Amino acid sequence: MHRLAPDLTQLHGRLLDWYAVRARALPWRLRHTSPWGIFLSEVMAQQTPVARVEPIWLDWMSRWPTPADLAAASPGDVVRAWGRLGYPRRALRLHEAATAMVDRHGGEVPATLEELLALPGVGDYTAAAVACFAFGIPAPVIDTNVRRVLVRTLEGEAQAAPALNRAERELALAAMPPRTDDANTWNVAAMELGALVCTARAPRCDDCPAADLCAWNLAGRPAWTGPVKRTQSWHGTDRQARGALLSVLRESPGPVGAARLAQAWPDEPQRLRCLDSLVSDGLVEPLPRSRFRLPE
């Protein structure tokens, strides 16, 4: 049994009332936003700050307002329009998902968890988020922010385990309000609280609407004693090298020679390794005479 707070109903009310006043005015939260717009936002916002997502999302919605529009674009145009959002394979997965929507669902975003999960590149989180926010299906939506809010308020832990586990899935399901509308809003309210107030490194407990209900706060905010997820620095990594090489290709109107790429990343063994990985991922096409381009 999870140590759910006895005043869980009160916790729901606090967070829902707070969200009604404090929610950020993000464009994909507008009532007229299509399921496709919500789908795009959920994929783009994974592991990426919202401030970086918003201009790219607006650009994509202007260029490709439907799945059919994106499916008709070239993969190279899609990768170029992805810009510096990070994890550019997501751009190709979006293109593949849009193509699948055209082929299997008449150009519409499918409206069930099972059909969403069958799309290329769609995992549990994206499927649940789109089902909830686009179609009103009260599935638990569990991202890093939600996990942190739940384990702090309900279990008194400073942070969640390094990886989502079955116990946390059960906790998220048990914590949802019984009414469908409240459950759907609860998902985004918990997410918003984790992003703005109940942050990982510097939680603003004095500004939290549920500070007097939070098990972690009431326990004196004990430090985390469990395993810690290892993080890799950015400088000098293959991720940085791949990004530098892709940046050159995005900004070029045509194929780019090996010499130009060498200027972007002088470390030859790492550059060649990263070029090979970009080719394997479908993000770059090799051409004769040691030239490279985005996929067409």
Q: Which of 42, 96, 157, 192 is catalytic?
A: 42
85 phi and psi angles, rounded to 5 deg: -65, -25
Cα 110 to Cα 35, 88, 124, 146, 208, distances in angstroms: 9, 24, 15, 25, 36
Apex 170 CA angle, 166 and 185, nearest 5: 125
Q: Are 193 and 207 in contact (CB under 8 A)?
A: no
DSSP state letter for 257: E
The closest alpha carbon to 208, from 49, 24, 19, belongs to 19
Whether 157 sits among the annotated catalytic residues: the reply is no
* Element of type H or E holding 259: helix 258-264
The closest alpha carbon to 173, from 193, 188, 187, 152, belongs to 187
| Residues labelled as active-site residues | 42
